[in-house]
Amino acid sequence: MNYAQILLIAALIVWTMVRRMAGQPVQSRRMLIIPLGVTVAGVAQLDAGHLATVDLAILVVQAALSIGLGLARGASVRLYLRDGVAWSRYRWLTIGLWVATIGVRVVFAVMTGALRSGAAASAMPSLLIGLGVGLLAEAALVLFRVTTSELPLAPDDRAGRTSRRQPIL
């Protein structure tokens, strides 16, 4: 993994945390599209033909931990009503859980290096998969909490823009 990729992923995480600390409307499309794309990009970069059993085990354990930490982050997010729709905001606990998530990733990087695991040691795919499934788990729990609390979801950007347009006469 080169430094540009690391900086890009770090910037994505920081951007996500800053936006979510400020609060934002809960939109299903916005919450799911980017994490799904990150996960798919990670899976696409895997060299499936060269996955050893230890590689697969490491990826599965890392994904499971990422999902668990994502669910914990999703449970820690504050939900509230603003402008007639559900909004979410990270709490300091959520930021602490992000620090734990990064710590888990560092431990796995050291562990895969010690095991000299080929495919799992290629950090970019495993990092993207872990980040993506963790964000998907977080988003899924936040969306579940919103829908079960009967707070109205904010319209997705595309739908919102379409409804605001005035017909051309």
pLDDT at site 118: 55
pLDDT for the residue numbered 122: 59
Q: Does the pLDDT at position 60 exceed 60?
A: yes
| Closest residue by Cα to residue 98 from 34, 21, 28 | 21
Tokens 């007639």 correspond to: 84
Average pLDDT, the chain: 84
Q: Is 1 helix (H, G, I), strand (E, B) or coil?
A: coil
Tens of pLDDT, residues 76-122: 999 999 999 999 999 999 999 999 998 888 887 777 766 655 555 45
Residue 152's region, left for phi above 0, alpha for psi from -120 to 50, else beta, is: beta
Which residue range forms the structural domain that includes residue 71?
Answer: 3-149
Q: What is the dihedral of CA 67, 149, 160, 29, to 10 degrees?
A: 10
Extract the tokens encoding 88. Answer: 């979410």
Residue with more model confidence, 35 or 51: 35
Q: Looking at the domain assignment, is residue 156 inside a domain?
A: no
CA distances from 19 to 14, 127, 130, 158 (A): 9, 21, 21, 19
Residue 40 has pLDDT above 70, yes or no: yes
pLDDT score recorded for residue 114: 62
Kindly state whether residue 159 falls inside one of the protein's structural domains.
no
Q: How many domains does the chain have?
A: 1
Q: Please report whether residue 58 resides in a domain.
A: yes
Is 164 a member of any domain? no
> Does residue 165 lie within any of the structural domains?
no
E strand segments, 41-161:
78-82, 85-89
Residue 160 confidence class, pLDDT cut points 50, 70, 90: very low
Helix or strand holding residue 25 (H, E)? strand 24-25
pLDDT at site 45: 85
Task: Please check the confidence at residue 51 and state whether its pLDDT lies above 80.
Answer: no
